[in-house]
Amino acid sequence: MSQSDDILELARHRRVLRAADVRQQGWSPQLLLSLQQAGKLHRVAHGLYSLPDTDVTEHQAAQEVCQRAPKAVLCLLSALQFHEVGTQLPHELWIALPEGTKAPAPGHPTLRVTRLRGAAYSEGIETVTKHGAPIRVYSVAKTVTDCFKFRNKIGLDVALEALKEAWRTRKITMDEIHQFANINRVDKVMRPYLEAVVA
């Protein structure tokens, strides 16, 4: 098999292929351009390629952003949608980045970037591999407490819906909620709602 065949095989496995993935294997990233010009690869974003017949999956946009921005974590409305909690269908991709990290260049999808620091950024990250490409997303409990932290941005009704449904479907425990509420400093804000949900 040639390097080009190897690259196409890797693209089949990963669905979204970075130039860095090709370099890591010791292959020439220039082959990506040749394969694109030959119509064997499709350029989905700067430095990201996929096979032309690859089905666009529900999570492809998240995969592409996580490839372009290694510190990006799906958060808030996008994390709720990912975990199938609530009724939110955001037309933008909500990501969290640590303070001081450069945001990915504008493109598709449109990004809503939230800046977090310390444990509010680093705790509760889950890495889920879908179709060979990793997606970093906050856990359900972390996401619910983030919704209360950013209730002025997304609406208290969204935060309440997320809390009620996550509790009803047993996707969270009270211990997890208390842990992340402390990290996000929203324990006092959430207390009356938690009491109502548990009652």
The pLDDT tens digits of the residues spanning 109-150 come to 789 999 999 999 999 999 998 666 789 999 999 999 999 999
| Same domain, yes or no: 8 and 40 | yes
In a domain, residue 14? The reply is yes
Cβ burial 147-163 (10 Å sphere, 16+ → b, else e): bbbbbeebeeebbbbbb
Statement to judge: residues 72 and 139 lie in one domain: yes
**Whole-angstrom Cα distance, residue 73 to residue 62?**
9
Task: Note whether residue 128 is domain-resident.
Answer: yes
Q: Which helix (H) or strand (E) holds 48?
A: strand 48-50
Indicate if 146 and 191 belong to the same structural domain. yes
- Whether 176 is in a domain gets the answer yes
**pLDDT per residue as tens digits for the range 34-55:** 898 899 988 776 677 888 876 5
Same domain as 93, residue 135 = yes
Whole-prediction pTM: 0.74
Q: Are residues 40 and 66 in the same domain?
A: no
Does residue 55 sit within a domain?
Answer: no
- Indicate if 43 and 65 belong to the same structural domain: no
How much is the mean pLDDT over the chain?
88
Q: Is residue 173 part of a domain?
A: yes
Cα distance between residue 64 and residue 34, in whole Å:
21
Q: Are residues 67 and 29 in the same domain?
A: no
The answer to whether residue 154 sits within a structural domain is yes
Question: Are residues 90 and 152 part of one domain?
Answer: yes
Q: Are residues 71 and 36 in the same domain?
A: no
In a domain, 41, yes or no: yes
Contact 62, 45 (CB under 8 A): no
CATH number for position 32: 1.10.10
- Are 67 and 33 within one domain? no
For residue range 50-99, list pLDDT tens digits in order. 888 765 555 777 887 888 888 999 999 999 999 999 888 888 899 999 99
Note whether residue 184 is domain-resident: yes
What is the enclosing helix (H) or strand (E) of 61?
helix 60-68
Residues 26 and 64 in one domain: no
Does 170 lie in the same domain as 82?
A: yes
Residue 95 belongs to domain spanning: 60-198
Number of domains forming the structure of the chain = 2
